[in-house]
A and B are shown apart, each in its own frame.
Chain A
Amino acid sequence: MSVTFCGLGLAHRVINGSGTFDVIAARTAFGRALDDEFPFAAYVSKTITLEPRPGNPPPRLWETPAGLINSIGLPNHGLEAYMRSDLPQLAGLTTRGSGAGGDDGRAQAPGRSERWPVPLITNVMGSTAEEFARLVEACQTRDEIAAIELNVSCPNVRTGLDIGADPGQLEQVVAQLRPRTRKPLIVKLTPNTADVASCAEAAQAGGADAVSLINTLRALALARSAAGTPGAAWLGGGTGGLSGPAVRAVALAQVAAVAARVNVPVIGMGGIETAAHARDLIDAGATLVAVGTASFRDPAAAARIADGLGERHSRSATGGDRGQRPRAIGVAGERAGEHEK
């Protein structure tokens, strides 16, 4: 199975959500295995800003029922360092085809041995339209970058410019950026708005080639009495963004609402853990799906989901990928905790 997205040929439909997979760090952890088994059909960078950002003070994570709240604060080395040092390391990624057909969808399936280029999508955020313009113009000059994603929605950072939540502002900003690049422009929509479909329409009217959603839902965790003032925010950045299976049903509703209103392709994401979840978003109108939080739990999650999508027609509705964590590689020995007592 392969797919065309904004003129880019992709090995399959599964990419990463921005800021959820750091190729450079993962290469240190997994070595060549990462490049041999690269899980994503396109790679979306973390958000790049003009100036370097250290990110928010810790703590940055809070586990919730079926998910987590993060308040990371978009740490990055800034545009200049990204272009100089990160970009060469992110260019030239390849992945296997996902394989269609075949009883087990594994080694013998056609397309599995074929290698596909992994286009690089650079995600950028400016705090003003002028900053956005400088970021987009810089991306336009680099052949390694296949497409640009505009982060107009991250709820963690107090930019004072929540343009993604306001259709009027959003259309204006996208329209200002449109003439500055020939590369596909993807607008990442915020779910923290009254009417996400109107925002998607505005992005399309401004000249966006695609929209992606959902970003995280604004969320709050309060300090536990033992570790801070009761009632105070637990996370160093105050509020954070909720992701994981907890947001999946919200994502499905928003993707369906947006896909019904725009003609441009939609990248759907939010709580995907299995191929069945990805299929739901595709059925709701998404062309691609992005895996984010699930990669934290298992770096191979996206590859497993892509394989599951490829197998769809050769598996019964109840077979295959049922959401169990399949990479169990150890067996518990003596009763755990025994040494402690």
Chain B
Amino acid sequence: MLAAAERWGGGEDERPYLPRAFSIARRAGAESHFLLEDVGPGSRRLCELQAGELVWALGPLGRGFRPPSPRRRALLVGGGAGIAPLAILQDELAGEITVMLGFRDASRAEGAALLDGAMVATDDGSAGHRGPVTDLLAAELERDPLAMVYACGPAPMLEAVRAMCAERSISAQLALEAPMACGFGGCFGCTVARRGGGYLRVCVEGPVIDAEDLDHVDPHAGAPA
């Protein structure tokens, strides 16, 4: 969870109030790197941070990706700012990895440089494949039906990944986001419906949740930004 130590509040609509949840994109010594997109008063304030400003931070929290079974290829599928946890995953995974990243357009696709050897798809075709990143995923799954899928990105992309993997009985781990107040299981605010009934807290039972534990990814899911 991140917040600016000063001037947190008093932005658009007198927000932000709550800290914001982010995945760590990369660790370098004592540094933690984050990938931010200005989509609301909280992320805007964080995007405006100047070097040397103090940040309030709490973490790491929750359950992350689990490594693939031996000799299984890892397919990393990301969209937009959701590529962040895939970068640190790539850093930490050994073995064969294929990376596919989707963006709206070429200017946003520059983030793909955070990962090595990424295939890129853009909505407008201005970089890489024209179309959704799940087109690339479908081709890879055709080639290697024993691969394991790791995905993070906008809810509609995650739902497409979930449905595609469910159809093919392929194991997928999805890093979800949800409106979240605390990040450590206290508020029960960040739940998603669990297959078979009940709810999972994204902060402590996630944010990485097995696709088979979900009936669907709510297309409107998202954090207060």
Interface of A with B (CB < 8 Å)? Answer: 19-22, 24-26, 28-30, 54-55, 57-68, 70, 72, 75, 227-228, 244-245, 293, 295-299, 324-325, 327-337, 339-341
Chain B contact surface mostly: loop
Cβ-defined contact, A60 with B220, below 8 A? no
Interface of B with A (CB < 8 Å)? Answer: 3, 5-6, 8-9, 13-19, 25, 31-32, 34-38, 46-58, 61, 81, 107-108, 110-111, 114, 178-193, 197-199, 201, 204, 218, 220-221, 224
CB-CB nearest 8 A-B residue pairs: A25-B185, A65-B14, A328-B5, A328-B54, A61-B189, A296-B182, A337-B47, A296-B181
Cβ of A26: which chain B residues have Cβ within 8 Å of it?
184-186
Cβ-defined contact, A341 with B56, below 8 A? no
Cβ of A19: which chain B residues have Cβ within 8 Å of it?
188
Question: What would 19 more interface pairs be, CB under 8 Å, given A26-B185, A328-B5?
Answer: A20-B186, A25-B204, A57-B193, A61-B179, A61-B189, A70-B187, A75-B191, A295-B186, A296-B182, A297-B3, A324-B6, A329-B56, A330-B54, A331-B53, A331-B55, A332-B52, A333-B51, A336-B36, A336-B47
A54 to B51, CA, bound (A): 44
Cβ-defined contact, B204 with A29, below 8 A? yes
Cβ of A228: which chain B residues have Cβ within 8 Å of it?
220
Cβ-defined contact, A58 with B193, below 8 A? yes
A339 to B110, CA, bound (A): 8
Cβ of B50: which chain A residues have Cβ within 8 Å of it?
332, 335
Number of A-B contacts (CB under 8 A): 172
Cβ-defined contact, A55 with B199, below 8 A? yes
Cβ of B48: which chain A residues have Cβ within 8 Å of it?
336
Cβ of B19: which chain A residues have Cβ within 8 Å of it?
297
A327 to B4, CA, bound (A): 11
A244 to B48, CA, bound (A): 25
